[in-house]
């Protein structure tokens, strides 16, 4: 993927993209502005750091690259360690790539039969397993963090990108061979999200249940609250209409459904449903970046280790009393379908004709209609939704479902394939220096690893125009910094 260097109009969340609503002439979505203000879910805006725990390796057909662990830092200072599962795409460090948590279905893992093998590696290697235990498992006297990280990354690349890797260190090679051997039985289940609440917005008529909101979380406890001026007008209930308390204790059931009960005759209004939790994000969760102002989208990562983090999710509920169509829309990336599915719900009492990316659909009262918008791989998309009474909504992003596909800077749906915007280290390029690997960083959850830094390795600093940029997991890339509206630099 390409690394994000700025804010996109709207961000793909783990399960659903932003939603909004309209009823009659008095309430309508504000297009891109509404998308930008959508509350976040789970881990968002985790910024990639300039240091790695890594060693150089040789990748068949690609040259010498750095293989190992990346570190992401959340807004509250929590640390995540990740490996690359998207070898051929760079990481754009010059603006501090921001990652968000995502489901397998929104990434290349969704269609990868070897995904269970990758999850087994994460649960049975570094840093989930300490170095002493890992050395014993492969029958060596000791194992360095760099050997462990490089060997683990090489094993992951075999299953994520079908890459053949030659490691420079004997113990790293032994670890890689162990991780891809028959000892790897795979773990089929996809790990739970840290916290998601979807869709981001629902609408309905007062006098009944509004929803459902679907809650998923790996946390042992999720706190719930209703906010906004009309908070006293709505009660939180389950699918059977029974009151839901302020705290749900885990394990949280998969796809827990929540509703807001608004009495009949309640004046038109809206509330926000808030969910908060503190949890260690399960290994195996996918992390992806948003699209920056230049269309860059950094490579996909997979989580190896997590601090205990504070995560939150929020969704809006709006109700009306009057007659007419009451439209919401939401969207989700579906890699298996090679596109983005936009769902339109009509909670009103009149039919609504809605346009989704030039496709028209009629949504009857109380019904939901879905439209699949096909998107070319690695292409940007910009899907506009419009409906009765000035309703508009916009969903933007990049489809990043396959590995080994050249990124495209062309507009969406579908877009022509363009050329890569970065050069992998180890690949000759005019005027491109060969970047040195960064210093070793402490690994969360392992008690802290010693800083090495006793060689020629120097940390790469984000934000230096025209400087060196570390490539995600796969390599270290050299980039020239681009302007907000400028073209790519070679």
Assess whether pLDDT exceeds 80 at residue 188. Answer: yes
Higher pLDDT, 178 or 289: 178
Higher pLDDT, 434 or 316: 316
CB 375, CB 400: distance < 8 Å: no
Q: How many other β-carbons are positioned within 10 Å of the β-carbon of residue 364?
A: 13
3-state class of 447 per DSSP?
Answer: coil
| Gap between the Cα atoms of 336 and 125, Å rounded | 29
Per-residue exposure over 79-103, b if at least 16 CB sit within 10 Å of its own CB, e if not? bbbbbbbbbbbbbbbbbbbbbbbbb
CB 422, CB 54: distance < 8 Å: no
Q: Residue 478: what pLDDT?
A: 30
| Gap between the Cα atoms of 284 and 186, Å rounded | 12
Assess whether pLDDT exceeds 80 at residue 124. Answer: yes
Assess whether pLDDT exceeds 50 at residue 366. Answer: yes
Assess whether pLDDT exceeds 90 at residue 6. Answer: no
Structure tokens at 186: 């795979």
Higher pLDDT, 24 or 56: 56
Instruction: Give kind and range of the element (H or E) at residue 132.
Output: helix 131-137
- C-alpha dihedral, 289 to 473 to 306 to 112, nearest 10°: 70
Measured in residues, the chain has a length of 490
One-character DSSP codes across 225-267: EEESTTGGG-EEE-TTS-B--SEEESSPPTTEEEEEEE-TTPP
pLDDT (average), residues 193-198: 94
Token pair 């908060």 is found at 276
Q: Residue 221: what pLDDT?
A: 96
Assess whether pLDDT exceeds 50 at residue 255. Answer: yes
Residues 126-163: tens digit of each pLDDT: 999 999 999 999 999 999 999 999 999 999 999 999 99
Q: Residue 160: what pLDDT?
A: 97
Domains of the chain: 41-180 (no CATH), 323-403 (2.60.40)
Among 299, 302, 298, residue whose Cα is nearest residue 286: 302
> In which order are the strands placed within the sheet that holds 380-386?
359-363, 352-356, 380-386, 392-398
Q: Residue 378: what pLDDT?
A: 83
Calculate what percentage of the chain has a pLDDT beyond 70: 73
- Let me know the angle formed at the C-alpha of 92 by 91 and 93, rounded to the nearest 5 degrees: 105
Q: Residue 398: what pLDDT?
A: 83
Q: Residue 454: what pLDDT?
A: 25
3-state class of 25 per DSSP?
Answer: coil
- C-alpha dihedral, 29 to 34 to 40 to 45, nearest 10°: 160
Write down the pTM of the prediction.
Answer: 0.76
Residues 442-457: tens digit of each pLDDT: 322 222 222 222 222 3
The overall average pLDDT reported for the chain is: 77
| Cα 74 to Cα 44, 52, 81, 283, distances in angstroms | 7, 17, 11, 16
């Amino acid at each position: 993927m390409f690394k994000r260097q700025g804010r996109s109009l709207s961000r793909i969340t783990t399960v659903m993209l932003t939603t909004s609503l309209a009823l009659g002439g008095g309430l309508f979505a504000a297009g891109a502005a509404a998308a930008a203000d959508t509350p976040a879910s789970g881990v968002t805006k985790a910024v990639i750091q300039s240091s790695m725990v890594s060693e150089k390796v040789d990748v068949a057909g690609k040259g010498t690259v750095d293989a190992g662990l990346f570190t992401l830092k959340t807004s509250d200072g929590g640390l995540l360690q990740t490996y690359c599962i998207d070898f051929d795409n760079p990481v754009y460090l010059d603006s501090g790539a921001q990652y968000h948590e995502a489901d397998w279905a929104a990434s290349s893992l969704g269609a990868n039969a070897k995904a269970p093998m990758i999850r087994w590696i994460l649960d049975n290697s570094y840093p989930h397993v300490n170095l002493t235990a890992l050395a014993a498992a492969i029958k060596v006297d000791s194992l360095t963090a760099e050997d462990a990280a490089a060997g683990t990354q090489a094993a992951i690349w075999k299953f994520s990108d079908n890459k053949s890797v030659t490691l420079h260190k004997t113990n790293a090679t032994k670890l890689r061979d162990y991780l891809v051997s028959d000892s790897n039985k795979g773990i089929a289940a996809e790990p739970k999200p840290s916290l998601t609440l979807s869709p981001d917005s629902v609408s309905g008529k007062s006098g009944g249940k509004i929803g459902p909101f679907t809650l998923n979380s790996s946390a042992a406890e999720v706190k719930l609250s209703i906010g906004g001026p009309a908070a006293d007008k709505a009660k939180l209930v389950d699918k059977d209409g029974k009151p839901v308390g302020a705290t749900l204790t885990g394990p949280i059931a998969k796809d827990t459904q929540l509703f807001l009960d608004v009495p009949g005759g309640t004046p038109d209004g809206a509330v926000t449903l808030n969910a908060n939790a503190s949890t260690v994000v399960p290994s195996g969760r996918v992390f992806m970046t948003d699209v920056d102002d230049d269309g860059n989208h950094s490579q996909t990562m997979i989580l190896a280790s997590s601090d205990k983090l504070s995560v939150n999710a929020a969704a809006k509920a709006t109700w009306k009393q009057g007659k007419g169509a009451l439209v919401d829309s939401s969207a989700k990336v579906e890699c298996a379908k090679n596109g983005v599915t936009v769902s339109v719900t009509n909670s009103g009492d009149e039919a609504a004709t809605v346009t989704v990316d030039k496709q028209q659909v009629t949504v009857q009262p109380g019904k939901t209609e879905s439209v699949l918008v096909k998107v070319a791989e690695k292409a940007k998309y910009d899907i506009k939704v419009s409906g009765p009474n000035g309703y508009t909504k916009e969903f933007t992003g990049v489809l990043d479902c396959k590995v080994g596909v050249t990124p495209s800077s062309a507009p969406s749906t579908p877009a022509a394939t363009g050329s890569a915007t970065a050069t992998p280290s180890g690949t000759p390029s005019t005027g491109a220096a060969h970047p040195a690997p960064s210093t070793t960083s402490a690994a969360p959850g392992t008690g802290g690893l010693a800083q090495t830094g006793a060689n020629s390795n120097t940390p790469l600093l984000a934000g230096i125009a025209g400087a060196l940029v570390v490539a995600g997991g796969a390599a270290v890339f050299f980039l020239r910094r681009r302007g907000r509206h400028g073209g790519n630099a070679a």
